[in-house]
Amino acid sequence: MKSPSRRSFLKAGTAITAAAAGLTPRVAQAGPANILSPDRLGVLVDTTVCIGCRNCEWACKIAHDMPTPPLETYEDAAPMQEMRRPDETALTVVNKYDHPARPDLPTTVKVQCMHCDHPACVSACIVGAISKQADGAVLWDTDMCIGCRYCMVACPFQIPAFEYHKAIQPRIMKCDFCTDRRKEGKLPGCVEACPVEALTFGPREELVRVARDKIRRNPDRYLDHIYGEREVGGTSWMYLADRKFEELAFPKLAQDPAPGVSESIQHGIFAYFVPPVSLYALLGAVMWTTRHKHDDEVELL
Amino acid sequence: MTRIASVGLLLLTAGASAVAQARPASRAAGASLDCRACHTSPTPTRNNPSLSACPRLKVQGYHAVDEAPPVITLGTPGKTYGPVKFSHREHAHMSAANGCSGCHHYDQARPIQKCKNCHAVSRARGELGKPDLKAAMHRQCIECHREWNPTGGCSTCHIKEGAAPAPARKKVAAPERIVYETKATQGKSVTFFHKDHTDRFALACADCHVQESCGACHDRKRVAAAQPVLTRQTRAGLTEDQAHERCANCHTTDACGTCHKGMPSRALAFDHGRRTGFTLNRFHARLDCRSCHKGTGAYRSLATDCESCHKGWQKTFDHARAGLQLDEQHKDFECESCHDDKTFRAKPVCASCHDDKAWPAHKPGKAVPRAPRKG
């Protein structure tokens, strides 16, 4: 038999603590109050349509006033030779993966913040600097951030980046779903720039319908899997592909929200402050009852 | 979407039937047309209509390819790239473009619809199921161009301001023969006389090469000089039907010996009825092709009424040879009185004179044995 892991030990400990406090562990409900709107937005990325032109990378930098090389330089596919991750200078990148059936035409995949419905970064942030918006976006607030970088560790997609080179006010950098542009009534920069509309922007529920319809009508073209529909409890950005997502460097994730377990432990321990108060009350009572014993011992000495 | 697709398929089928019968008035007859006459698969879809590659059953568009606009300017000048000067007619001639239907899907039997009638101009829109205008047009071009030139970027089509346009592609050199190394038990090597077929039947590339990748003809790896004989291996894992698909578009596959030398059957393998709409009767089937398609050039389609070949036959025709001796009342009638179609294939009609009679329950004479053919 396997020896109990640290996780199962902690789980058991939590359950006992919570039971002692007369509470039920709420593993399923992650994060604070559920503010997800049924109309929340998302993007469906069709990797079978993407041509790897990297116009989205260019448009992203323009949209965020970052230093941007001229558009023509993006015709050079050389940067895609190596696997890249979004960093503090590029909030989205396109990677390529050789296609087994077509040596000349690799699969190209845009990577950016997935804007999880139950974000681990929001859960991990100890000061509430990252928040999930009703419209689906996961946003970072420069005024509240203390630079602990817990969000970077928590993210199952390894997305948040940090401006390590800046001594003063370094920022956490990640896709902000072009919230400023959308307030002006514009589309996210990458979605607007995509020449083939491999990125479809719209209400998430509608996108799931569209994706299902695509799979139903073209069963030969698509794998019957919408990545992000259920992974870590659902993400705002979702992907379609003609091959296994693991081959495209997507992490294989369960359907439970990432913060589910950790939050139930933390929230259980501190729920309504009853367990800590009970614990200190118990300790106080022990001290109180043993107080005179100690006095006697001191006198004897 | 499904409804539009099915309407489109219906129109395609109707269009095909109209061509097959060379008479647009009989379009309604399309309802009874066998789907397999145009589609090679029982379940054609929008992306894979699996149209049969028969030249004579080709779906005709609203106008001939040669009447298409020669050049269309797409888009407006941007900061980096100029608009696209799209050689529209040249593209329509290409095999992969498959005439008008390669791009103008669904309904080409009527005046061509503007793309933006269906594909929204704005990307921010309600109906997300189909791509917006910009994406729809890009996808049409990119699907072939990426395959043809994987490293070519935007400037392949969007010529930069002031730059010279891309050089024209070299002409495709068609092979003289293609030898297929097949998996047949006998007659493994099947030679397809490519040049013979194109010359004799006056075929353009796109008549047979439909929905094919550009690379199949514009082979980037093939040397520029024409290779007169190409050798092709039959791909592994094909069913018998799939392996014969190309040839079966025009030939019957039960006459193995015609292609696989050494196999027994040597009968005529060309399926005349399916390909031309004119099924050969037992007499016509015995004839040499040149008995009807006279001359030495390409075979031309002939009128299907008997009179066009058998001049004045009606004056001397003895009806008993067709297996019915006409009685006294009927024998002096004009043929058209009973046979209202020119090919004499339809059921004769009694109703123009008799309210209560119908073929074959009532016969206008006596059934006799069919006369054997003279000579």
Give kind and range of the element (H or E) at residue A154. helix A150-154
Q: How far is A59 from chain B (nearest CA, A)?
A: 14
Identify whether A246 is part of a domain: no
In whole angstroms, what is the distance from residue A202 CA to residue A210 CA? 10
Share of chain B above pLDDT 70, in %: 71
More confident residue, B133 or B66: B133
In whole angstroms, what is the distance from residue A160 CA to residue B156 CA? 36
Identify whether A7 is part of a domain: no
Q: How far is B250 from chain A (nearest CA, A)?
A: 28
Q: Provide the pLDDT for residue A297.
A: 59
Identify whether A211 is part of a domain: yes
The SS3 of residue B51 is: strand
As a whole number, the mean pLDDT across chain B is 74
In whole angstroms, what is the distance from residue B38 CA to residue A130 CA? 59
Same domain, A24 and A124: no
Same domain, A200 and A75: yes
pLDDT band at B110 (very low <50, low <70, confident <90, very high): low
Average pLDDT over residues A89-99: 95
In whole angstroms, what is the distance from residue A195 CA to residue B132 CA? 10
Q: Which of B67-81, B244-258, B318-332, B339-353 has the lowest mean pLDDT?
A: B244-258
Same domain, A52 and A99: yes
Identify whether A56 is part of a domain: yes
Domains plus CATH for chain B? Answer: 1-60 (no CATH), 62-169 (3.90.10.10), 177-292 (no CATH), 304-375 (no CATH)
Same domain, A193 and A213: yes
pLDDT band at A75 (very low <50, low <70, confident <90, very high): confident
Please list, residue by residue across B125-137, b when 16 or more beta carbons sit within 10 angstroms of its beta carbon and e when fewer do: eeebeebbbbbbb
From B45, B123, B128, residue closest to A192, measured CB to CB: B123
A52 burial type by CB count under 10 A (0-12 exposed, 13-18 middle, 19+ buried) = buried
Q: Which of A139-153, A187-201, A230-244, B213-227 has the lowest mean pLDDT?
A: B213-227
Same domain, A46 and A24: no
CB B189 within 8 A of CB B180: yes
Q: B113: which DSSP letter?
A: P
Residue whose token pair is 């009609």: B349
Q: What is the pLDDT of residues A264-278, one digit of tens each?
A: 777 777 777 888 899
In whole angstroms, what is the distance from residue A55 CA to residue B142 CA? 15
pLDDT above 70 for A221: yes
CB A47 within 8 A of CB A238: no
What's CA A198's distance to the chain center, in Å? 22
Domain with A86, as residue range(s), is 41-240
For residue A210, what is the nearest residue in chain B, using CA coordinates?
B129
Same domain, A158 and A288: no
Establish, for the pair of chains A and B, how many residue pairs have beta carbons separated by less than 8 Å. 60
Same domain, A164 and A125: yes
Identify whether A186 is part of a domain: yes
pLDDT above 60 for A118: yes
As a whole number, the mean pLDDT across chain A is 86
- The CATH number that applies at residue A177 is 3.30.70.20
Same domain, A46 and A195: yes
Q: What is the pLDDT of residues B253-297, one digit of tens each?
A: 777 777 888 776 545 567 787 777 788 887 888 888 888 888 877
In whole angstroms, what is the distance from residue A159 CA to residue A232 CA? 15
> Residue A291: what are its φ and ψ, rounded to 5°?
-55, -50
Contact criterion met (CB < 8 Å) for B124 and A221: no
Contact criterion met (CB < 8 Å) for B153 and A53: yes
CB A68 within 8 A of CB A193: no
* DSSP H stretches of helix in B170-238: 194-200, 205-208, 214-217
Q: How far is A223 from chain B (nearest CA, A)?
A: 16
pLDDT above 70 for A200: yes
Tokens of B332: 């002096």
Name the range with the highest mean pLDDT among A146-150, B67-71, B285-289: A146-150
Q: Provide the pLDDT for residue B359.
A: 83
For residue A187, what is the nearest residue in chain B, using CA coordinates?
B124
The count of structural domains within chain A is 2
In order of A56, A204, A227, B286, the CA distances from A45 in angstroms are 12, 12, 10, 61
pLDDT above 50 for A28: no
Identify whether A253 is part of a domain: no
Identify whether A201 is part of a domain: yes
For residue B78, what is the nearest residue in chain A, using CA coordinates?
A71
Q: Provide the pLDDT for residue B14.
A: 40
Q: Count Cβ atoms below 10 Å from residue B310 Cβ, excluding itself.
A: 10
Q: Which amino acid is at B51?
A: L
Same domain, A190 and A224: yes
Q: How far is B221 from chain A (nearest CA, A)?
A: 13
Assess A195–B contact: CB distance below 8 Å, yes or no: yes
B127, B128, B133, best to mutate vs chain A, most A CBs in 10 Å: B128
- Cβ contacts (< 8 Å) between A195 and chain B: which residues? 134-135, 138, 142, 154
Q: How far is A34 from chain B (nearest CA, A)?
A: 27
- Cβ contacts (< 8 Å) between A71 and chain B: which residues? 79-80
Same domain, A225 and A293: no
Same domain, A170 and A295: no
> Residue A41: what are its φ and ψ, rounded to 5°?
-95, 165
Average pLDDT over residues A221-228: 96
Among B166, B148, B150, B156, which residue's Cα sits nearest to residue B218?
B148
Tokens of A193: 């720039």
pLDDT band at A294 (very low <50, low <70, confident <90, very high): low
Tokens of A150: 């817990």
For residue A271, what are the contacts with CB-CB under 8 A and spacing of at least 6?
Answer: A18, A21, A23
Beta strands in B182-237 (DSSP E): 189-192, 229-233
Q: Provide the pLDDT for residue B284.
A: 85
Q: B342: which DSSP letter?
A: T
More confident residue, B173 or B316: B316
More confident residue, A211 or B220: A211
Assess A183–B contact: CB distance below 8 Å, yes or no: no
pLDDT above 70 for B239: yes
Same domain, A216 and A70: yes
Average pLDDT over residues B135-163: 81
- Cβ contacts (< 8 Å) between A77 and chain B: which residues? 151
